[in-house]
């Protein structure tokens, strides 16, 4: 049976479930190209989870045993932060966690090598090639790609979507001929076809377009999570264990705080003071409503009261100055990349 693809706000819900099942192993471009989610939202979600201890952030090169290479200018271009479900979650499904990690690190490294070695890191060529495959309805999910064409995607995500399109069509060719394809031969052929297609556009000017960061989808998830945390049940795969306890959401409140703070800062930074105020008020009301449903004196109640107190302090003053005194574990996106 074909797996349902969760798009929009639902993509965050699925990542919540994958994280707690020990099955999340992704980089930013993984989230972008699989869910057609924006670069900004993908990065914010992964960083917020890592800052809160629900994900572990590691260096791609370290995973290959190339320890310390992310500090070397010559090798750093092949590096990318990879986010894994925290070890406490991975222990529940060790084999699945290991399988996902192996698949992710090889796919990401392959795309990075193709981009830097074959395509000379030509962002404009990849962008033009991506526009071309959308126009020709070549991608695996052609309708969805066209529908979300204006979504902000990184160059690596676009390249991986192109690769996926060639992989899809190559497999169809072999299937129609009644043949099976060796995985190594498949990857070599996909890389060759992708490179040939993108190289047609090398030297093309980079066309600047409006890129939709999908802030509304992030907002929808945030308020859904506060109002109905039990929705995670709809995204849970029972073959990977039992559902988390009903109070699982308490551990996710720091993530919600980080994402809400990022959304508030984005609105304020864009000059939308009215939008930022409306968002802040709606967030506060949602937290208060969730707290009203809890029993007095419980951990859940105290956690929500603490969340609201932090939120009021964070939004009371200028955005830039407040960023210097963020309560742990809210992350500061201006800090340099670090690995755990």
For residue 92, which phi and psi values (nearest 5 degrees)? -70, -25
Please answer whether residues 150 and 212 qualify as being in contact, where contact means their C-beta atoms are separated by less than 8 angstroms: yes
Separation CA 126–CA 203 (nearest Å) = 11
pLDDT tens per residue across span 231-249: 999 999 998 888 888 899 9
Please answer whether residues 144 and 138 qualify as being in contact, where contact means their C-beta atoms are separated by less than 8 angstroms: no
244, two tokens: 């988390």
pLDDT tens per residue across span 24-55: 999 999 999 999 999 999 999 999 999 999 99
Q: Which residue has the tokens 């989610």?
A: 37
Residues constituting the chain: 340
Q: Is the overall model pTM greater than 0.75, yes or no? A: yes
H/E run at residue 41 = helix 39-51
Helix pair angle (39-51, 253-269), 10° resolution: 140
Separation CA 77–CA 32 (nearest Å) = 19
Cis before 329 (ω within 30): yes
**Spatial CA neighbour of 10 closest among 255, 229, 221:** 221
| Percent of the chain that is helix, strand, coil (3-state, to 5) | 65, 5, 30
Rounded average pLDDT per 10-residue block, the chain, 340 residues: 82 98 97 97 96 95 74 78 96 94 96 96 96 97 97 98 98 94 94 98 86 96 97 93 90 96 92 93 97 94 96 83 66 54
Please tell me what DSSP assigns to residue 170. H
């Amino acid at each position: 049976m074909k797996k349902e693809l969760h798009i929009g706000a639902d993509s965050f819900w699925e990542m919540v479930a994958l994280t707690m099942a020990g099955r999340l192993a992704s980089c930013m471009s993984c989230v972008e190209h699989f869910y057609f989610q924006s670069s900004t939202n993908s990065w914010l979600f992964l960083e917020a989870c890592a800052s809160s201890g629900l994900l572990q952030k590691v260096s791609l090169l370290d995973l290959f045993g190339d320890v310390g290479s992310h500090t070397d200018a010559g090798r750093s271009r092949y590096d990318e932060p990879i986010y894994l479900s925290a070890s406490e979650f991975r222990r529940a499904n060790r084999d699945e966690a290991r399988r996902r990690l192996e698949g992710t690190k090889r796919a990401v490294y392959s795309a990075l090598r193709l981009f830097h070695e074959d395509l000379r890191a030509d962002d404009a060529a990849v962008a033009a090639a991506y526009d071309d495959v959308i126009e020709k309805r070549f991608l695996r999910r052609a309708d969805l790609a066209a529908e979300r064409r204006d979504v902000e995607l990184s160059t690596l995500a676009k390249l991986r979507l192109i690769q996926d399109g060639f992989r899809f069509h190559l497999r169809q060719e072999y299937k129609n001929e009644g043949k099976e394809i060796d995985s190594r031969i498949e990857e070599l052929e996909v890389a060759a076809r992708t490179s040939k297609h993108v190289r047609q556009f090398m030297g093309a000017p980079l066309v600047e377009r409006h890129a939709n960061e999908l802030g509304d989808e992030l907002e929808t998830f945030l308020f859904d999570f506060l109002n109905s945390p039990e929705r995670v049940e709809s995204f849970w795969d029972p073959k990977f264990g039992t559902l988390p306890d009903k109070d699982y959401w308490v551990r996710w409140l720091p993530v919600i705080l980080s994402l809400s703070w990022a959304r508030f800062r984005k609105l304020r930074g864009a000059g939308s003071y009215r939008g930022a105020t409306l968002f802040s008020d709606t967030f506060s009301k949602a937290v208060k409503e969730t707290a009203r449903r809890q029993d007095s004196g419980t951990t859940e109640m105290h956690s929500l009261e603490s969340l609201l107190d932090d939120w009021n302090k964070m939004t009371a003053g200028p955005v830039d100055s407040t960023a210097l005194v963020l309560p742990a574990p809210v992350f500061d996106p201006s800090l340099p990349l670090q690995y755990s």
